[in-house]
A and B are shown apart, each in its own frame.
Chain A
Amino acid sequence: MNFITFCDLRLLNLLEYPSDFANLKIDRMASKKNNPKEVTENDSNSRRDFIKKSGLFTALAFTPPSLVMASENKWDEKIAEYLETVPLSIEVNGKKHNLNIEPRTTLLDLLREQLQLTGTKKGCDHGQCGACTVHVNGTRILSCLTLASMQQNAEVTTIEGLAKGKKLHPMQEAFIKHDGFQCGYCTPGQIMSGIACIKEGHANSREEIREYMSGNICRCGAYHNIVDAITEVKEGGKEL
């Protein structure tokens, strides 16, 4: 822990995830070996800047000279990189990604901010609205409540992964036909939930659909049409 104390102010976000420490080293090595290229993708170039700007003062004031040296030699940067990120191997819409991510990154932010898959929406970041619904290994989950680092080897399907080129998924078609949206912001979440709702066997009546779709808020109030769309897909009996 001494080591951590040294990095303290800079690296510390990690302390929020102590349980991840143990695995860091091994996983990281493994990842480097397998995918040398993507590993460097998320490296930050600002850490050095930061040390130059502000870290030095603190370092001079509070740390022994050897550590100042460490800072100058960018060791801290290396250490930080080593400690701040965890390797993640994840498949999104059939595409494999080997990444190094911060342990605190949510699956939602990973999708939107790092993989540029902005079809999955952020409506609350607290698991209260359903806008961020995606499928992980075939089950609907709220990606804002899911730490990406815990989805090792998971298969994720987002709204971008439903259509085959111009050929829409039956649920997407039904949403268009029944006008199951207005602004469209809750729509990716509704569609992902709608598909899951049928697969789970919870679409046997309008009442049941309403109940099992109530984790997805639509502020535009398209509920009536959403139920129409899901009912049609369910009755169509197609493999989803």
Chain B
Amino acid sequence: MSKTSNINRVDGFAKVTGSATYSAEYKTPGVVYGCLVGSTIARGRIKSIDTKKAEWAPGVLAVITHLNVDKPTGYQKVKDKRNFGQPLQIFKDDSVLYYDQPIALVIADTFERMQYAASLIKADYFKEEHSTDLQKAADKEKKIDTEKGNDYHRGEHDGYKNAEVIFEAEYTIPTEVHNPMELANIIAKWDGNKPTLYTKSQGVEGTRRSVAGVFDVPVEDVSVFSEYLGGAFGMGLHTWPYEIAALMGAKKLNRPVKLVLHREQMFTNVGFRPFTIQKMGLGATKAGKLTGLTHEAVAMTSSYEDFMEGTVNMSRFIYDCANVSTRYRIVPLDTCTPIWMRGPGEATGSFALECAMDEMAYKLNLDPIEFRKLNYAEKDQEQNKPWSSKYLLECYEGGMERIGWKNRKNEPGSVKEGNWLVGYGMGTGTFGCYRSPTSVKAKFLPDGNLVLQCSVNDMGPGTATMMTAIGAEITGLPVENIIIEMGKSGLPKGPTQGGSATTSSVGSAVHDACNLLVSKAVGLASGTLAFKGIPITELTFENGVISSKKNSSKSVTLASLLTANKLDELTVENLSKADEEAKKYSIYSFSVHFVKVLVNPNLGKIRLAHVVSCADIGTVINQKTSAGQMYGGAVGGIGMGLMEALEIDHRFGRPINNNFADYHVPVNADIEKQEVFFVNKKDPISNPMGTKGLGETALVGMAPAIANAVFNATGKRVRDLPITLDKIIETVKV
């Protein structure tokens, strides 16, 4: 274990003292307060909108609607390439495309006056028939017109149907909402034609591009600050209409505008995990060899953007199987566009796949882990490539031991503790390891500090801490001497934080930049008198001192080296990207979640007595923050499994439970005992550090683990999430 492998979060002090500055907290002189008023119908047109009362209310500075807005010139041109279709153009016209779509922006001089004035806006509508129920509209499905949207077949189409033992079932997951604790928020201002956003974005560069597109200004003129994010979980992967609205307001008033969504608006305006219906077909020999697997998914999107995620992808490679078919379709509904929510499609897909695997194991009378081992994939059959590394079996073993798998009985309902039925379950997760081109600037300062700069964000996983750990490891400098500058434009370009790719991308770039910087320092030193006659290969760099390997009395400090060379700093800026070798391999992280549940058969109450989350993520850069991320991913999966569902009243197309009292997320009391375990073996291919990514796979597989444990406890199979007590109590016999 190196000295950087278990360090405290470097932004810990700022976070525990309240001095970390989140977007709406930048001190901005002259800031005024904006608020969005939403439509009260799910589809139609605005007949009239009465803004008079609001305009006359005390302190009101502006009310902007489609009737008086200065339409940004980019409205004609903009296209968001991440999705297909057109992001909602706020205040573009009188059309209403979903419930609570913003129809007015009210700006006042104080927060209270803004709130009050917003309550005075009234609108009338020409209502049109809306459609918000995926289960009713599933026949309107369409294929996404790209290669990724194509059906996949290996071997025989729907080959499972010819198997000795066949299992078929349908699984549904409801809409879930990211709901980071920090509300979506922005302070927007203009300096002439140059916009500045202090906003909740997972991608500084992406936000700059989107804003530049909408307002038709050069990307370089857009400044974005997003230094601290109070969580996002995918919600910050899109530039949302509220951000554009705040910019419009700021432009109109020529004053900074602060706009913070209400928690209710977080449920309707900034994306969600889409309601998805999945059909599974599994075929196996009686001995337990999978011979066919078909995975089909139908998911919702909005009426104006096509959204897709990797729901069916895991089924193509995670198990050894000759005949695999997958199919993915979307149905446009009258809602806001979904956006990837932690784990994204893979979490949805693993619920269906890993439940179906469990169900098939029971059918074959096999232990679920035995069944998986019988179908262990020695290579990636989808891409026909070897794994770069795969320690999935170690995850199984680590989890079985910790959860006490030996106490599990295959017969449901056969283990009891007092009045509680005991069940054990597991679910497998996986997520691809990606690496985006990333620039990092590393500079040594005469005071002995190392500054690392990159525009990447840290929404919570500990990116700054990871960068510090890698920087310290390579330069030998103490952690305290490393300064991270990140999360804003004007720095070397980093990737969007998402898809578990940050450590692989930014960590590698830090690694490379620091190595180059050390070489540069050593090169500079080798030319000095102190090292005359000593070949450069015999010089080392450690903790800010360059010395001769053979004779450590010969040394110079970095500070004196800089002074001698009249340098204010020694700098390297480097663009780092994946090498060709990596393309020959299939690189994935793997996780296995284990759950022990206690179910009260009379009340249907489910207790999570013990949760163990195991992962093969390659090298663990920092045990402390990685464990935190794994705990957190597991908690997210627990929400998915047991409580989260956005309920829509389809008569009106609007949510019923758009608040934290009614939309339940896990709280401290919900999990009795939690553990994490990392295999922690370096991947030889993925990147210089050998990491594979954690954020997503930390969640993937948890929901099925719970469903499988509940079945093991009760014999009741719940195929529609979340597993609430009403679904248990229906059939469990006392």
Residues of A within 8 A of B (CB): 9-11, 13, 44, 46-47, 50, 54-55, 58, 80, 84, 102, 104-105, 109, 112-113, 116-126, 128-129, 131, 158-160, 162-163, 168, 172, 175-177, 179, 181-188, 191, 207, 209-211, 213-227
- Report Cα–Cα, A172/B666, bound state, in Å: 23
User: Are B459 and A183 in touch, CB under 8 angstroms?
Assistant: yes
B9 at the interface (CB under 8 A from A): yes
Q: Which of B18, B61, B670 contacts A120 (CB 8 A)?
A: B18
Q: Which of B58, B625, B628 contacts A13 (CB 8 A)?
A: B58
User: Are B631 and A222 in touch, CB under 8 angstroms?
Assistant: yes
Given contacts A102-B110, A176-B8, A183-B228, 11 further A-B contacts (CB under 8 A): A9-B53, A84-B58, A109-B112, A117-B18, A122-B183, A124-B659, A159-B18, A181-B15, A185-B181, A185-B230, A188-B18
Q: Which of A46, A129, A158, A220 contacts B59 (CB 8 A)?
A: A46
Q: Which of A104, A163, A181, A209 contacts B17 (CB 8 A)?
A: A163
User: Are A221 and B8 in touch, CB under 8 angstroms?
Assistant: no
CB nearest to A9 among chain B residues: B56
Listed by A's residue number, 13 A-B pairs whose Cβ atoms lie within 8 Å are: A11-B58, A13-B116, A118-B22, A123-B183, A124-B263, A126-B660, A128-B660, A128-B661, A168-B17, A182-B231, A182-B629, A185-B22, A223-B671
- Report Cα–Cα, A45/B231, bound state, in Å: 37
- Report Cα–Cα, A11/B59, bound state, in Å: 11
CB nearest to B262 among chain A residues: A125
Min C-beta distance of A222 to chain B, whole Å = 6
User: Are A131 and B181 in touch, CB under 8 angstroms?
Assistant: yes
CB neighbours (8 Å) of B659 from chain A are: 124, 126, 128
The 8 A CB mask of B249-279 against A (1 = contact, 0 = none) is: 0000000000010110000000000000000
User: Are A187 and B15 in touch, CB under 8 angstroms?
Assistant: yes
- Inter-chain contact total with CB atoms closer than 8 Å: 212
CB nearest to A84 among chain B residues: B58
B85 at the interface (CB under 8 A from A): no
Min C-beta distance of A210 to chain B, whole Å = 4
User: Are A217 and B674 in touch, CB under 8 angstroms?
Assistant: no
Supposing A123-B263, A128-B661, A129-B181 touch, asked if A214 and B57 sit within 8 A by C-beta, the answer is no
User: Are A182 and B462 in touch, CB under 8 angstroms?
Assistant: yes
CB nearest to A160 among chain B residues: B18
User: Are B631 and A44 in touch, CB under 8 angstroms?
Assistant: no
User: Are A125 and B60 in touch, CB under 8 angstroms?
Assistant: no
Q: Which of B58, B61, B660 contacts A124 (CB 8 A)?
A: B660
CB neighbours (8 Å) of A168 from chain B are: 13, 16-17
Min C-beta distance of B7 to chain A, whole Å = 10
CB neighbours (8 Å) of A54 from chain B are: 55-56
CB nearest to B14 among chain A residues: A184
User: Are B56 and A126 in touch, CB under 8 angstroms?
Assistant: no
Question: Which 4 pairs from chain A and chain B are nearest by CB?
Answer: A119-B18, A221-B635, A185-B230, A184-B15
B111 at the interface (CB under 8 A from A): yes
B361 at the interface (CB under 8 A from A): no
CB nearest to B676 among chain A residues: A224
User: Are A55 and B632 in touch, CB under 8 angstroms?
Assistant: no
User: Are A46 and B109 in touch, CB under 8 angstroms?
Assistant: yes
Min C-beta distance of A121 to chain B, whole Å = 7
B233 at the interface (CB under 8 A from A): yes
CB nearest to A102 among chain B residues: B112
CB neighbours (8 Å) of B181 from chain A are: 121, 123, 129, 131, 183, 185-186, 217-220
The 8 A CB mask of B203-237 against A (1 = contact, 0 = none) is: 00000000000000000000000001111010000
Min C-beta distance of A20 to chain B, whole Å = 14
User: Are B11 and A184 in touch, CB under 8 angstroms?
Assistant: yes
Min C-beta distance of A78 to chain B, whole Å = 14
Q: What does DSSP make chain A's interface, helix, strand, loop or mixed?
A: loop
The 8 A CB mask of B5-42 against A (1 = contact, 0 = none) is: 00011011111111111101101000000000000000
CB neighbours (8 Å) of A214 from chain B are: 667-670
The 8 A CB mask of B611-632 against A (1 = contact, 0 = none) is: 0000000000000110111011
Supposing A10-B58, A214-B668, A227-B668 touch, asked if A125 and B263 sit within 8 A by C-beta, the answer is yes
User: Are B112 and A104 in touch, CB under 8 angstroms?
Assistant: yes
B179 at the interface (CB under 8 A from A): yes
- Report Cα–Cα, A55/B20, bound state, in Å: 42
Q: Which of B110, B112, B228, B672 contacts A184 (CB 8 A)?
A: B228
CB neighbours (8 Å) of A112 from chain B are: 25
- Contact-residue size bin, chain B (C-beta under 8 Å from the other chain): 35 or more
CB neighbours (8 Å) of B633 from chain A are: 221
Min C-beta distance of A163 to chain B, whole Å = 5
User: Are A118 and B25 in touch, CB under 8 angstroms?
Assistant: yes
- Report Cα–Cα, A135/B670, bound state, in Å: 26
User: Are A185 and B668 in touch, CB under 8 angstroms?
Assistant: no
Q: Which of B56, B57, B182 contacts A121 (CB 8 A)?
A: B182
- Report Cα–Cα, A84/B666, bound state, in Å: 41
B451 at the interface (CB under 8 A from A): no
CB nearest to B631 among chain A residues: A224
- Report Cα–Cα, A120/B17, bound state, in Å: 10
User: Are A219 and B665 in touch, CB under 8 angstroms?
Assistant: yes
CB nearest to B667 among chain A residues: A214
CB neighbours (8 Å) of A122 from chain B are: 183, 260
Min C-beta distance of B402 to chain A, whole Å = 14
- Report Cα–Cα, A185/B18, bound state, in Å: 9
- Report Cα–Cα, A210/B666, bound state, in Å: 12
User: Are B19 and A222 in touch, CB under 8 angstroms?
Assistant: no
B292 at the interface (CB under 8 A from A): no
CB neighbours (8 Å) of A181 from chain B are: 9, 12, 15-16, 628
Supposing A177-B8, A185-B231 touch, asked if A159 and B17 sit within 8 A by C-beta, the answer is yes
B180 at the interface (CB under 8 A from A): yes
User: Are A221 and B636 in touch, CB under 8 angstroms?
Assistant: yes
Q: Which of A55, A128, A179 contacts B625 (CB 8 A)?
A: A179
B655 at the interface (CB under 8 A from A): no
B425 at the interface (CB under 8 A from A): no
- Report Cα–Cα, A132/B53, bound state, in Å: 32
CB nearest to A161 among chain B residues: B18
CB neighbours (8 Å) of A215 from chain B are: 667
Min C-beta distance of A212 to chain B, whole Å = 9
User: Are B12 and A176 in touch, CB under 8 angstroms?
Assistant: yes
CB neighbours (8 Å) of A47 from chain B are: 58-59
Min C-beta distance of A127 to chain B, whole Å = 8
CB neighbours (8 Å) of A121 from chain B are: 22, 181-182, 230
User: Are B180 and A183 in touch, CB under 8 angstroms?
Assistant: yes
CB neighbours (8 Å) of A44 from chain B are: 58-59, 109-110
- Report Cα–Cα, A163/B229, bound state, in Å: 23
Min C-beta distance of A176 to chain B, whole Å = 4
CB neighbours (8 Å) of B634 from chain A are: 221
CB neighbours (8 Å) of B631 from chain A are: 221-225
CB neighbours (8 Å) of A10 from chain B are: 56-58
